[in-house]
Amino acid sequence: MKKRIIIAYFGTKDEKAMAQLSSFIKELQAESSVSCGSISLMHKDVANQLVFPADEKILMLPLLIQRGGTYEKLLSCGFETAPPLLCRAEDIRECASVINRTLEKKTDHNYILIAHGDEMRRIEEYGTLQNCLRDDVIITALKGKDRYTDVFPSCRNITLIPFLLTCGHHAAHEINTGCREHFMKRGYSVTTVESGILSLFPGIRGIFIRHMKELEKE
Q: What's the pLDDT score for residue 184?
A: 96
Most confident residue range from 6-15, 28-37, 73-82, 206-215: 206-215
pLDDT for the residue numbered 78 = 85
Say how far apart CA 193 and CA 32 lie, in whole Å.
Answer: 31
Q: How confident is the model at residue 205 (pLDDT cuts 50, 70, 90)?
A: very high
Dihedral pair phi/psi, residue 21, rounded to 5°: -65, -45
Q: Which residues pair with 57 in a beta bridge?
A: 3
Listed residue (73, 77, 71, 8) closest to 40, CA to CA: 8
Secondary element (H or E) of residue 33: none
Residues found in the chain: 218
Entry pTM: 0.91
| CA separation for the pair 192, 123 (Å, rounded) | 23
pLDDT in tens, 17-68: 899 999 999 999 999 988 888 888 876 566 566 666 677 888 999 999 998 8
